Amino acid sequence: MIERVAYLSMHTSPMLQPGVGDAGGLNVYVDELARTMAKRSVNVNVYTRRTDPAQPDHVQVADRYRVHHIQAGPPEPLPVAELPKWIGLYAEGVIRDLRASPPTDVVHSHYWVSGWAGVLAKEALQIPLANSFHTLGRIKDISRRSDEPLSSPMRTLTEEEVIARSDCVIASTPYEFDDLLDHYSASPERLCTSPPGIDHSIFKPGDREAAREWLGLPPGPVVLFAGRIQALKGLDVAIGALARMDQPAQLAIVGGPSGRAGDAEVEHLLALADGLGVSSQVHMIAPQPHAQLALFYQAADVLVMPSRSETFGLVAAEAQACGLPVVASRIGGIPYVVADGESGILVDVGDEPGFAAALDKVVGDPTLRAAMSAAAEIKSGEFNWKATADRLLELYHGITGGDGHPPVSQR
């Protein structure tokens, strides 16, 4: 029986607002999973790096769910590129706390920096290690925008090492599973697939007109984007598509700057919209508390996800749960989340005319939109946190079973 797990999330805390900076799907994943595991009587200790001197050593977020702030490097937000030099200290802090606590059954690390700390903890304490990458450097590099740098060799080599030294690597879709095989030569018996979930008590269909009124959205069709603003997310493609659309749509962008370029990407997007003559149709909206996003999904006509790379795409899954059709890139895990031609339309990465045509089609045809909305809600039923927690508990059992491997390799 799994009684106690440690979740390592060095580079970002599950307590942060998602949709800005380094906080996004990973934060939602760790938080939702921790809450669901805690409700299953598992004690969850999440270890993150202290980014503010005022942060207490730990915060009891919910019954059996605690977040620890580990002192590793200056107590201030740091770019991910600065973190590798502090991984050793972070791992030391985690190991110290795990040693002083009742026995922990499994360490589950998230992202490559924590993956390395997980390897150090596993080797120091002989605790089985599962790792979820959430994003893989080599995969992100394949379709990156031309002005974006490649992932550092430090990252990709660390990913290789974490894959080789974990007891299990958890892919969120069969596509990520294949990426781990094809681009990292992972051994298949160490891999399994477990998709994230959706909180269906929050993300569900609602009264569209009431949501629009409450949010004060302008009249006319609304194309919604939600998430971190960076080149990877392809908002430049969304703005290019908006300028090509026949329908007079508004583009609502909910989220904030993220990653290396930060505010410069937002400025680039605003200048692009200006140059294309669609500034008045582009609305930048500050990041919203997670539950509040449901109102935006309920109010919009279609979600656009023009990502250049996307391991899963929680936003697409949440939107569908609210009955919102999705127009998204055919990349990464998106085809696993969005049923092409049923719950949405998939378009080649960067294909602005293709995105414009697909958005026009959904926005301009109420019958099609209603059919896609119904299909979206059905598709979203495939994802829920209880099922994710059950699968992971089974997996944790497998790696604590003595042979150091999950029971079966499951695509």
Contact positions toward ligand UDP, by CB under 6 A? 18-19, 24-26, 28, 226-228, 254-255, 287-288, 290, 293, 312-315, 318
Whether 180 contacts 169, CB under 8 Å: yes
How many beta carbons lie within 10 A of that of residue 17, not counting itself?
Answer: 14
Residue 16 CB, shortest distance to ligand UDP, in Å, is 10
Residue nearest to ligand UDP (CB): 24
> Taking the CA of residue 191 as centre, how many other CA atoms within 13 Å lie in the half-sphere pointing to its CB?
22
Q: Which is nearer to ligand UDP, 254 or 392 (CB)?
A: 254
Whether 166 contacts 192, CB under 8 Å: no
Q: Which is nearer to ligand UDP, 80 or 368 (CB)?
A: 80
Residue 354 CB, shortest distance to ligand UDP, in Å, is 21
Q: CA-to-CA distance for 377 and 280, rounded, in angstroms?
A: 32
How many beta carbons lie within 10 A of that of residue 366, not counting itself?
Answer: 10
Q: Which is nearer to ligand UDP, 232 or 358 (CB)?
A: 232
- Category of 358 on φ-ψ map: left (φ > 0), alpha (ψ -120 to 50) or beta: alpha
Residue 91 CB, shortest distance to ligand UDP, in Å, is 24
Residue with tokens 């879709």: 173
Q: Which is nearer to ligand UDP, 86 or 385 (CB)?
A: 385
Whether 224 contacts 304, CB under 8 Å: yes
Strand ranges (DSSP E) for 216-362? 222-226, 250-254, 282-285, 302-305, 326-329, 344-347
Q: How far is CA 77 from the centre of its chain?
A: 20
Q: Which is nearer to ligand UDP, 102 or 149 (CB)?
A: 149
Residue 326 CB, shortest distance to ligand UDP, in Å, is 11
Whether 223 contacts 302, CB under 8 Å: yes
Residue 411 CB, shortest distance to ligand UDP, in Å, is 21
Residue 25 CB, shortest distance to ligand UDP, in Å, is 2
Strand ranges (DSSP E) for 198-285? 222-226, 250-254, 282-285
> Taking the CA of residue 263 as centre, how many other CA atoms within 13 Å lie in the half-sphere pointing to its CB?
0
Residue 173 CB, shortest distance to ligand UDP, in Å, is 12
Whether 318 contacts 32, CB under 8 Å: no
Residue 286 CB, shortest distance to ligand UDP, in Å, is 8
Q: Which is nearer to ligand UDP, 26 or 87 (CB)?
A: 26
Q: Which is nearer to ligand UDP, 334 or 339 (CB)?
A: 334
Whether 50 contacts 69, CB under 8 Å: yes
> Taking the CA of residue 399 as centre, how many other CA atoms within 13 Å lie in the half-sphere pointing to its CB?
29
Whether 251 contacts 238, CB under 8 Å: yes
Residue with tokens 């569209």: 208
Residue 288 CB, shortest distance to ligand UDP, in Å, is 4
Q: State how beta strands 58-62 and 65-70 pair.
A: antiparallel
Residue 127 CB, shortest distance to ligand UDP, in Å, is 27
Residue with tokens 């977040």: 67
